[in-house]
Structure 1
Amino acid sequence: MQRSRGSWRRGRWTLLLIALICGAPIALSYFTYYVIKPKGGTTSYGTLIEPQRPIPEALTVTGDDGRAVPLASLRGRWLMISVDGGACDEACATKLYFMRQVRATQGAERERVVTVWLRTDNAAVPDKIKGAYPDTRMLRAGAPALAQWLPATDTTKDTDHIYLVDPNGNLMMRFPAQADPSKIKQDVTKLLKWSSIG
C-alpha cells in the first residue's frame, strides 16, 4: 500500500513537471508580449519599402558606350543601388566601398548580387574610382526620375542611401544614411539564404 501511494505521488509530480515544461513557452510568450511589449515587427536593419515599387519601365540608363537601355533590363539578380554625381565625393566613394564589401562577403552567393552606381550628371568618373570598382555597373540616369522612384526620408535625399532591388525588379529596401555595412551584410545574407530567386 505504501509503495502504491509513493508511486502515485511520483506520478503526480511527473505530470506536474510535464505540464510546467509544456506551459512555460506559452507563459513566456504572454509575458514578453504584454509586459516587455516588443516594438516593431521586423528584424531587418534596412527599411522595407511598402508597397514595393517596381523599376519604372520608362526609366532608362546610359552606359559609357552611350547606349540607352531600360534599367528594368537588369532584372534577374539582386541590385544594390547608389545614386551620386559622377565626380564622386567621399560619401559617394564610401557607399561604393560598402556595396563592394557587402557583395564580396557573400561568398559563393555574391554572383547573385550586382552593385549599381546611378550617376545623375555627365561629370567624368575619376580614374581612381573606376579602378577600385571594376565590377560596379556605372550608369547615367536622370536625377528627377530617380528621385521619384527612390524614396528618401524627411531629412535625407536619395543620394544619402543604398537601396536594394529584388530580382523581380521591385525596390524593396532602403538602408539608413551613413549605414553600418556589417548590418547591411546581415540583411543581404538573410535575403539570399531564404530567397530562391535571383
Structure 2
Amino acid sequence: MLLLLFIFFAAPLLLVLLMHQYDWHPQGSSRGEMLAPHPLSLPPDLQNTSGAPVSKAIWDARWSMVLVSTDCAADCQQRLHQMRQLQVSLAKDVERVQRVLVASQAPVQVLLAQYPDLHIFHQPASAIAALQQQFVRGPGLYLVDPLGNVMMFYAPEVPAADIRKDMTRLLRYAWAG
C-alpha cells in the first residue's frame, strides 16, 4: 500500500523532472499563433462610426475578435461573415464575444446594414494607421482578451472551424469576460 502511494505521488514529479531535463515541451493544440500578450493603446483621436471618440472601455468585459484589414474588399467581407457565424455558433457564450473591424477604407454603411452589432474603426486615417501598427502580424484576425491584451493571431487562410475550436476551448477555461 505504501509503495502504491509513493508511485502515485512520485510518478508525476519524476515525469516533470524528466521533461525539464530533456527540454521536452509537448505540442499545443491551438490552431492560431499565440502572441506575447501586449495591451492595446487606442489613439486619442480614434472615432467610431458615429464620429464619437472610442473609449478604452470597448475592450472591457468581453473577448474581441478583431479583423485588421486595409480596404475591406471581398475577402475581408467574407471573413466578417465567418466571424458573425462563428460568434453565433458559440451558443451560450455568444454574449462574451464582440466583433471589431479595423480598416482605413471600408463600406461602412453597407457593413452596418449587414452587421449592426459590428464595431467599425475607420477614421481618421492617422489613428487607424497607429492602431494597425499595434497588430504586429499585419492583416488578419486577432483575439483580444477582456483586459485589452492582444493574445492570438489567425492568418487569413486559417479556416473558421479552427478558430471556433480555439475559441470554444478558450471560453470554456477563461474566467474573464
Structure 1: distance between partners of 2:67 and 2:141: 5
Give, in angstroms, the shift of residue 106 of structure 1. Answer: 0.5
Matched pairs, number: 166
Give, in angstroms, the shift of residue 144 of structure 1. Answer: 2.6
Structure 2: distance between partners of 1:145 and 1:181: 27
For 1:81, the aligned partner's letter is: V
Aligned mate of 1:179, from 138, 158, 165: 158
Unaligned ranges ≥5, structure 1:
1-17, 153-157
CA distance 1:89–1:58, change in 2 (3 Å) = closer
For 1:42, the equivalent position in structure 2 comes to 28
Aligned mate of 1:107, from 80, 88, 91: 91
Give, in angstroms, the shift of residue 95 of structure 1. Answer: 1.3
CA distance 1:46–1:94, change in 2 (3 Å) = same
So what's the TM-score if we normalise by structure 1? 0.70
Structure 2: distance between partners of 1:64 and 1:136: 10
CA distance 1:131–1:147, change in 2 (3 Å) = closer
Give, in angstroms, the shift of residue 103 of structure 1. Answer: 0.6
Q: Does 1:149 align with 2:134?
A: yes
For 2:63, the aligned partner's letter is: W
For 1:73, the equivalent position in structure 2 comes to 57
Structure 2: distance between partners of 1:143 and 1:65: 15
Give, in angstroms, the shift of residue 97 of structure 1. Answer: 1.0
Unaligned ranges ≥5, structure 2:
none
Q: Counterpart of 2:155 in 1: which secondary structure?
A: coil
Runs of 4+ in 1 over 6 A off after TM superposition: none
CA distance 1:69–1:168, change in 2 (3 Å) = same
The superposition leaves residues 91-148 of structure 1 with CA deviations (integer Å, 9 ceiling, x where unpaired) of 1101101111111111011100000011214x54252x33221221122253431332
